[in-house]
A = this chain, B = another copy of it.
Amino acid sequence: MELEFLGTVAGMPVRDRNVTSICLKLLQERGTVWLFDCGEGTQHQILKSSIKLSKLEKIFITHLHGDHIYGLPGILTSRSYSGGKSPLTIYGPKGIKNVITTVLLVSQAHLEYDLHIEEIPENLNEGILFEDKQFLVEIAKLEHRINSYGYRITEKDQPGPLLSKKLEESGIPPGPLFSQIKKGRDIILDNGEKLIASNYVGPALKGRIVVIMGDTRICENSPKLSKDADVLVHESTFTEDLHDLAYKYYHTTSLQAAQLAKKCNVNELILTHFSSRYQGERLDQLLQEAREIHENTHIAHDFWVFPINRKNI
């Protein structure tokens, strides 16, 4: 499980940073990648990365501002051109379906795969967006000029690995009993001896929690989404000296993001979505003021890959 940042600047591209897109790489976990937001030029960034469009399984859109969605039509058609056949689902605010279908229709684009578009109901404050055996994706509404959402991705805990060597040492040959024990069932052997399953299974693998926020002020739902996250990716459009500007434009300062992370027991905080006024030393300023509050803070740049390790239990 890794995050790769494909665009880290707010509003419009600059020479060394593109507008927002974040890739959650789940190659080991499910052989696919998920994308959060898709500003113009995201497919160009992907061309320069190791990401394969054919592996793209889901796109989550935080809000409909242009710098977060104008790359959608191109990524959809290029995925088809380059041989993507598996279904793709897009989740996003109400309106996303209209814009995608209009653009694809007018440009007479034919996709060689099934495209599903699931719109978030406008009156939804928080809820479950997607769930399967491996992952739970919850959302909550944030506070921006336009409907904007935060995504909380929870990997489910996995049972620990079977300690097969230890079993063999106890005289149990590989076979059907192994899978019984893996499922946690205690076994009584023919000789009457009882094997306690938990003695032969390693510790459960704790699932990881990744939270990716859309553009927002810090709001009521911010802590609900962020609580105990392994990684919180938060916008940090301004430094704290521009607090009032951040408030006016419904954005967050790096200090505010750090305060949220600290309060919510977040492990790693990653700042992104910087106003283009921040370059070089001024970017350090964003980082420093956050680190004074929450030490485990990082600042994203384009093509930065961040591995999300499991916490020790």
Contacts and interface: CB of A to CB of B under 8 A. Distances in A.
A70 interface: yes
Interface string A48-84: 1000000000000000111001110110011001100
B44 A18 contact: yes
A95 interface: yes
Contacts of A98: 102, 106
A170 interface: no
Interface in A84-142: 95-96, 98-99, 102-103, 106-109
A27 interface: no
Contacts of A103: 66, 70, 99, 102-103
Interface string A290-303: 00000000000000
Nearest to A145: B108
A14 interface: yes
A47 B95 CA distance: 30
A81 B82 CA distance: 33
Interface in A200-249: none
A108 B77 contact: no
A11 B44 contact: no
A40 to B, nearest CB: 4
A41 B39 CA distance: 10
Contact-residue size bin, chain A (C-beta under 8 Å from the other chain): 35 or more
A311 interface: no
A96 B82 CA distance: 26
A81 B19 CA distance: 14
A12 interface: yes
Contacts of A194: none
Nearest to A94: B106
Nearest to A64: B107
A175 B44 CA distance: 59
A58 to B, nearest CB: 21
Nearest to A93: B106
A204 to B, nearest CB: 44
A42 to B, nearest CB: 9
A282 B33 CA distance: 34
A18 B74 CA distance: 12
A21 to B, nearest CB: 13
B70 A66 contact: no
A73 B12 CA distance: 12
B108 A146 contact: yes
A74 B70 contact: yes
Interface of A: 11-15, 18, 40-41, 43-44, 47-48, 64-66, 69-71, 73-74, 77-78, 81-82, 95-96, 98-99, 102-103, 106-109, 145-146
Given A40-B40, A70-B74, A99-B102, 6 more contacts: A12-B74, A13-B47, A40-B41, A40-B70, A40-B73, A41-B74
Query: Which 9 residue pairs are nearest across A and B when measured between Cβ atoms?
Result: A40-B74, A12-B78, A99-B106, A66-B107, A95-B106, A102-B102, A70-B74, A41-B41, A66-B77
